[in-house]
Amino acid sequence: MKINRLFTVIILTGIIFGQYNPDNHVVTTSMYYMNSVEDGSWDEFFELAEEEFTKMNGADKYLVSLLVLGHRHSGSRNEVVQIAEWKSIADADKSTVGTADMRKKAWPNEGKRKAFNKKYGRYWSSKHTDLAVRELVTSRVKRNHKKTTENTVVSVVEWYLKPMSKVEGGTVAEREALFDEFHKKVIMRNDKILSRREMKHYWTGSLGGGVTPVVFVTEYPNMAVADDVTRNRETIQKAWPDEEKRKAFFAKRNKYIDREHNLGHRDIALHTNWVKLAKR
């Protein structure tokens, strides 16, 4: 059974609301709930799930990437979060509408398809929760294309930017250039950070009249790295070997971060990334 990633494109008064930047992508975050299966096992579940996601990820030409995140230090053990990326809302809708046809291609034998769906489907509740629809900043994405069978760790953190009216001498152009520089010199060069997604408001939450929330989904090889608050230190020192220039850069960049709102950020979740189920 392909886990449903359904969400509705809402059309009001003939207007379809589009992305803020057409070069960016759309990311949906949804939560699914596992059942307790009396005669089941985690080994059987992961064997079935690997078949499900390998076949359906390959069949879905509209799906750009997918993270399937299990419980670690967030929520309950039966909660599974999917973070899915498409080029547009239109592509996401085509993906959902085409699910049945994809399943037929993935399991062309009807009997085997039904048997698989029955066996795999018993591990899942029919309930799901749509958590967010956000805009992915594609110019600042780090992707992990390495093949691995070892699960990794993914953190979800929300940072807050000041309204531009409260940044003395600040401009959107300067802010974006500073964030681009940090991404290029630190995030992309730090091997301890396997992947990173920066997401902004799209159809989720509020915008305007206060701080601007930005969500970062970051993948680490293990908990030791995820817990290490100094993981960027060496890369930063190499990027700005001159101490005064380094201090000047971060003073300029950090003026855009609202430290008065939740001290600048809020930790949302920490997950185990089930890498065999991902589409990278």
pLDDT for res 3? 40
pLDDT for res 209? 62
Could you tell me whether strands 79-86 and 195-201 are parallel, antiparallel, or unpaired per DSSP bridges? unpaired
Note whether 82 and 69 are within 8 A (CB).
yes
User: Up-side HSE of residue 216: CA atoms within 13 Å toward CB?
Assistant: 19
Of 201, 188, 195, 129, nearest to 158 by C-alpha is: 201
Note whether 157 and 268 are within 8 A (CB).
yes
CATH 3.30.70.100 residue ranges of the chain are 25-136+273-277, 139-272
Please give the chain's pLDDT, 280 residues, in tens: 444 443 433 333 223 334 468 889 999 999 999 999 999 999 999 999 999 999 999 999 999 999 999 999 877 899 999 999 999 999 999 999 999 999 999 999 999 999 999 999 999 999 999 999 999 999 999 999 888 899 999 999 999 999 999 999 999 999 999 999 999 999 999 999 999 999 998 876 656 567 889 999 999 999 999 999 999 999 999 999 999 999 999 999 999 999 887 667 899 999 999 999 999 8
CA 1 to chain centre: 22
Query: Residue ranges of the alpha helices (H) in 132-230?
Result: 172-182, 223-227
Q: For the whole model, what pTM was predicted? A: 0.88
194 CB-near residues (< 8 Å, 6+ apart)? 142, 144, 146, 152, 219, 220, 221
Domain 25-136+273-277 has CATH 3.30.565.10: no
pLDDT for res 211? 85
Distances, alpha carbon 204 to alpha carbons 27, 30, 90, 277, in Å: 11, 12, 17, 26
Class of domain 139-272: alpha beta
Kind and range of the H or E run holding 132: strand 124-136
Kind and range of the H or E run holding 29: strand 25-34
Q: What is the DSSP letter of 167?
A: S
